[in-house]
Structure 1
Amino acid sequence: MPRDDAVVLFAGTSQAYATYRPGYPDALFDKMAAELAFNPRTRVADLGCGPGTASIPLARRAGAVLAIDPNTEMLQAARAATQRAGLANIEFRHGHAERLPDLDPGGIEHVVFGRSFHWTDRAAVVATLDTFLPAHGAIVLLGPGRSEKGAWHRWPWDEAVREVREAFLGPESRAGAGTYAQPEVGHEEVLGAGGFGRIERHSFTERVEYDLDHVLGLRRSYSHSAERLFGDRYDQYLDAVAAAVTSACGPGPYRIDKQDSMVIARRPTSS
């Protein structure tokens, strides 16, 4: 079952998400298109599309994209971004990945999750996709890069910001109407158990530069630090974050090697 509070996970964050969340490098989408042999007939689904972060670059490489999200604010932002990009090959659906059969998805070759797979009932989604995707179809997960020891690459200010957030909201990471804990079973294990055990991993590094305002904008885009969680203390929270980041990392700008990862999972018997 999809999370009952999925709609409120990112309520009120769509503008900040579209403005401040980093996208993925062109090299990542070029690699995906090459590995999966995109052509003008290829139709890809972007599940949990948000404001179109992956949908738009996918649409520039595939024949068509089906963009799905449970949050209407995110879909509105994605439609606006699509219009600005001058693209006409993205279709939008309001709904959950778990309920894909109810959304009249049509034929789909591959599906992409851009930092959204962990918000789903992963095993149920993989089982559903196993019935929808053709033999050569792939499930693609995009996300932050990992170190050789498996830890997420973090922003240099994350620890300082975490301490501030916990001082305001407590130690548990907030998510929707509840809290969020990292799944005990990794994504690749879930994919393998669902029949998509032929897995390729790709890493990408991109040099970025952010100022302090951008770092604060990122705070506004996260479910665990959305404005609605703080009531009338949100300005105090952002002021405290600004002070903590400046103390830990200086006044900026911050030049960072941003790490991104792509996992392509296919059935072992696919050609």
Structure 2
Amino acid sequence: MNRHLFQGTVPYYARYRVPYPQALLSQVCEQAQLTGSGRLLDLGCGTGELAVRLSPRFQDVIAVDPDAEMLAAAQQKARDQQVTNIQWLHQSAERFSAEPDSFELVTIGAAFHWMDRPVMAPRIRSWLQPQQPLVIMGYTSIWSGN
């Protein structure tokens, strides 16, 4: 991925990106049967859209993104909404590692197409607790794009 692709666009991206519908997020939480005490991993978190909005459903959230400007916008969003249970990591999804069965939910919002999908899919599966989902959201097919 071009590490400078979003350079200079972050304020616009943060302000004008269409949010995911609340009904969709509610459905994800219901179907995942979240306990409220688990951990969320949000890969390619960008401006924190999913991490911040889902954070009340988790004890801990880890949000990962390779773009420092995106993470700064995400951290500001979390501060503005008084969200304090998110750990922000400035790195690519491919560089992230975790123990097996560490997460109750893994989310990727409009970012899976930027990742090395054949590498990431089995790694993510190992990080998830048994029977818990990987949720990939986007505006087009998750298998298209570069």
Q: Give the TM-score, by structure 2 length.
A: 0.88
Is 1:71 aligned to 2:67, yes or no?
Answer: yes
What do the CA deviations read for 1:62-117 (whole angstroms, capped 9, x no partner)? 2321110000000000000000001111111111111221x789922221010000
Give the secondary-structure state (helix, strand or coil) at the position aligned to 1:8.
Answer: coil
Q: Matched residues in 2 for 1:24 and 1:45: separation?
A: 17
Whether the 8 Å contact between 2:100 and 2:126 is mirrored in structure 1 is no
- 1:145 CA drift (Å): 6.7
Q: Matched residues in 2 for 1:94 and 1:104: separation?
A: 19
Q: Matched residues in 2 for 1:59 and 1:124: separation?
A: 27
Which residue of the partner structure matches residue 135 of structure 1? 130
Which residue of the partner structure matches residue 81 of structure 2? 85
Whether the 8 Å contact between 2:100 and 2:128 is mirrored in structure 1 is no
Which residue of the partner structure matches residue 217 of structure 1? none
Which residue of the partner structure matches residue 22 of structure 1? 18
- Greater Rg, structure 1 or structure 2? 1
User: Where do 5+ consecutive residues of structure 1 fail to align?
Assistant: 147-181, 184-271
Which residue of the partner structure matches residue 144 of structure 1? 139
Match of 1:40 among 29, 36, 43: 36
What do the CA deviations read for 1:130-174 (whole angstroms, capped 9, x no partner)? 32222222110111278xxxxxxxxxxxxxxxxxxxxxxxxxxxx
Q: Matched residues in 2 for 1:118 and 1:99: separation?
A: 16
RMSD of aligned C-alpha atoms?
2.3
Q: Matched residues in 2 for 1:105 and 1:145: separation?
A: 30
Q: Matched residues in 1 for 2:68 and 2:101: separation?
A: 21
Give the secondary-structure state (helix, strand or coil) at the position aligned to 2:15.
Answer: helix
Whether the 8 Å contact between 1:68 and 1:94 is mirrored in structure 2 is yes
Q: Matched residues in 1 for 2:5 and 2:133: separation?
A: 27
User: Where do 5+ consecutive residues of structure 2 fail to align?
Assistant: none
Spell out the pairing of 1:175-194 with structure 2 (5 A cutoff).
182=144
Q: Which has the higher strand share?
A: 1
What do the CA deviations read for 1:157-194 (whole angstroms, capped 9, x no partner)? xxxxxxxxxxxxxxxxxxxxxxxxx35xxxxxxxxxxx
Is 1:55 aligned to 2:51, yes or no?
Answer: yes
Is 1:117 aligned to 2:97, yes or no?
Answer: no
Letter in 2 for 1:22: V
How many residues are paired up? 144
Spell out the pairing of 1:194-233 with structure 2 (5 A cutoff).
none
Q: Give the TM-score, by structure 1 length.
A: 0.49
Q: Matched residues in 2 for 1:58 and 1:114: separation?
A: 12
Q: Matched residues in 2 for 1:105 and 1:35: separation?
A: 22
Letter in 2 for 1:116: A
Q: Matched residues in 1 for 2:99 and 2:11: separation?
A: 28
Q: Matched residues in 2 for 1:62 and 1:55: separation?
A: 10
Following TM superposition, the consecutive aligned residue runs of length 4 or more in structure 1 with deviations greater than 4 angstroms are 103-106
Whether the 8 Å contact between 1:39 and 1:63 is mirrored in structure 2 is no
Which sits farther off after the overlay, 76-85 or 21-30? 21-30
Whether the 8 Å contact between 2:65 and 2:90 is mirrored in structure 1 is yes
**Percent sequence identity over matched residues?**
34
Change (3 A) 1:128 1:21: same
